[in-house]
Structure 1
Amino acid sequence: MTKIKFIDARFADPDENEFALKRRFELHLRKLRALQDGVSPKVPGDFEDELRWNEDLIAVPLSEKDRARVLRRARRVMGARAKASGLSHLSADDRRALEAFRGGADLVGIASEHRADEIAAAIHAEMPWMAAATDFLWKAMRRSVRVGEPGFRLPPVLLDGPPGIGKSVWSRELGRHLGVPRCGIEGTAEQASFVVNGSQRGWGSAFPGRPLQTIVQSLCANPIVVIDEIEKAGTPTSTKGQAYGLAEGLLPLLERSSAVAWKCPYYQVGFDMSWISWVLTSNSLTTLPAPFLSRLEILRLAGPGKGDLISFTEREGARRGLGVAALSAICEVIEQVADTQELNPRHVARMLARAEAMASSPLLH
């Protein structure tokens, strides 16, 4: 695991607080006064002479005026350091939250091309009908290993296809196999760009965006951020006519050149958001703006075939502990219905859930 500088801020030595600076400045003032008074400086390496020197320094008197001047100097230095840090405008709680990035943020990478092959094979075995997405992932992982990237980031991708085929499940499997956090956002429920970018202070309920919250909580700079049904996100407009669309809010985050120094509206600090893996899903592209689509790799996916659904039923049924009779009945329904009606894994999951509920129900006498 690699560490990267994630936040555009400077962190001072935590031991260099106001009290420590005051003591250091007082000691320096005593040394100057002692030398002015003709006290012999200590002999390097002579332990007894060092004791003598320390005793001489302690004997140097400091007036209340001296101590007040030293305290003012220490406070000026602390103020200048706070200003130079880029965090002085934040509350104490927010500074503490960002203090976690003093040593940088973690990047999770792919260990080898062999590991990339294993991940792709495992996901494909679970969801073979998502082959286009898995192939895109596989090539991106192998390329990341070959060029020696410190961490893995999937190029921004839009999975477009019918509802219920497992686009969101595919992204969860991706996060699980990569071992990185996953942030899920529903385009239908959270339409404004605030959910991604955060809102500026001064609003009634100011907050940082969900992707940044995920990174702050996990200290991992390359999570997977999934936005489901992005085409259903509306574009709220303020009373002044300013639009806050989700797609528009994503534009600077999808471009690596702008994401590397993205400024958070809430913290008003720059962050390196360029390592996020963006996975978006849609059922249609018709309502999505061209500038937004131009920043994405668009993969058009078809639903699973009859054989895929039967294999999914057998695997998922075995995980749920269903008996042979129940699984055979569900597979028979799929055989009879799949040719005339559109079935997807969501339909099958509901049938499996009903079978599981029936299997666990008490017998009626």
Structure 2
Amino acid sequence: MHKFHFILSKQPDPALEESAIIQRLKEFYTALQDKRQIEDGLPDEGRAAHSDVWHHHRNEIPKALQIRIRRWAQKIHRHHLKDVEPTRLSREDRVMLEGCRNGAELVELRSAHHIDEIAAALHAEFPWLAEATTHVWRSLHQNRASGRLGARFAPVLLDGAPGIGKSAWGRRLAQLLETPDMIMDATGENASFGLIGSQRGWAKAGPGRLISLMLMRQIANPLALIDEIEKSGTPVSNTDKAFSLPNALLPLLEDLTASRWSCPYFQHQFDMSCVNWVFTCNSLRGLPEPFLSRVRVISVPSPTQDQINELVLREATKRLLAPSITAAITTALAEAFDAGHQINIRNVKRMLDLGSEQQARPMLH
């Protein structure tokens, strides 16, 4: 994998930590002591016996000098922190950033054929999401042809009825790309804070889930899956300041602004242009136009009866279900379709789970 330097701001140098400076000054003092004794003509075996030259043992440092060394180290460290931003990070925060000092890894695609294999696997499992699969397939090929490193594609918004596999498609895409994923339900997060993070000074200030994942896994191109983005709401603070999740995402969805994104918590600039975005919604109503203009909106139809039957057969084979149970499920689904009922993936999964439970029951004698 290639290394990608996504932390743009200057970071504190571990070599200029107070403890590291103190250690180097002590080593310098000891080396200087040895040099002076050698210049005085004292042999190695005679230096310890002539400690009166220094009025202390060779490996000891006078108390007064230790205090001066500590003060020098503190002063040097403070001056160094003034040159980097921010100056008030905790030690734990610096440790998080330190892991990506030399860059984070970019998950790569092995070849153009690898992209075709990913698209083929997605289409076989989610044929009703063919348009979304085609979008990712073309975008991955375009990115590779342009010479840009890493597996990345243009942001996509899947709009469709609930329970038709939009989120499952996104999770499966992350598995096929072999990149870490961050799955967030927009209805359960506090506006943008859960994803983006909150500024220092807030009672519950902390980094966002996305940047935390990137720093923890040291991967620069994870896949971020945001479910039901239209239901995120717009909380308002006591000062009438709105915190809308779609609006907070705007600078992250364009390469120009994403490449120099400022984290509200770390107060560092990060290059987030490699992040892959998948959004889902049940309706476009309420989503701001600036957000919609930055993503590829794809209308996802409900799966057909044939596609549902193929899904049942595939899952039944994985679960080793008996043919009689599989036939019972497909028959029940056919009757539901004939009656005009709308069948979604959740209904199918529930029926397969019931079939697995039925098959696992002990035989009664």
1:355 aligns to what?
355
Q: Distance in 2 between matches of 1:271 and 1:337?
A: 51
**1:30 Cα deviation from its structure 2 partner:** 6.5
Greater CA drift, 238-247 or 73-82 = 73-82
1:318 aligns with 2:317: yes
Amino acid at match of 2:154: P
Given that 1:26 and 1:70 are in contact with CA atoms closer than 8 Å, whether structure 2 keeps it comes out as no
Q: Distance in 2 between matches of 1:221 and 1:301?
A: 29
Which of 26, 29, 37 is residue 29 of structure 2 equivalent to? Answer: 26
**1:204 Cα deviation from its structure 2 partner:** 1.9
Q: Distance in 2 between matches of 1:97 and 1:63?
A: 37
User: What RMSD over aligned residues (CA atoms) do the two structures have, in Å?
Assistant: 3.0
**1:160 Cα deviation from its structure 2 partner:** 0.8
Amino acid at match of 1:226: L
**1:161 Cα deviation from its structure 2 partner:** 1.2
1:218-266 CA distance string (max 9 Å, x none): 1111111111111111111112211111111111111221222212112
Q: What TM-score does the superposition give when structure 1 sets the normalisation length?
A: 0.87
Identity over aligned pairs, percent: 39
1:143-191 CA distance string (max 9 Å, x none): 2222222212221110111111100000111110111111111122225
1:141 aligns to what?
140
User: Cα gap change, 1:321/1:14 in structure 2, threshold over 3 Å: closer, same or farther?
Assistant: farther
1:274 aligns to what?
273
**1:193 Cα deviation from its structure 2 partner:** 1.1
**1:142 Cα deviation from its structure 2 partner:** 1.4
1:46-93 CA distance string (max 9 Å, x none): xxx9x99xx8xx998598766655543333222223333425311111
Length, aligned pairs only? 353
User: Cα gap change, 1:134/1:64 in structure 2, threshold over 3 Å: closer, same or farther?
Assistant: same
- Structure 1: which 5+ runs fail to align? 41-48
2:346 aligns to what?
346
1:124 aligns with 2:123: yes
2:164 aligns to what?
165
2:114 aligns to what?
115
Amino acid at match of 2:322: G
SS of the residue 1:227 aligns to: strand
Amino acid at match of 2:11: R
Aligned pairs (5 A) from 1:49-198: 61=54, 69-198=68-197
- Structure 2: which 5+ runs fail to align? 55-60
Q: What TM-score does the superposition give when structure 2 sets the normalisation length?
A: 0.87
Greater CA drift, 266-275 or 180-189 = 266-275
SS of the residue 2:157 aligns to: strand
Amino acid at match of 2:117: E
1:5-56 CA distance string (max 9 Å, x none): 122233525497122331365379769x96xxxx69xxxxxxxx9x99xx8x
1:258 aligns to what?
257
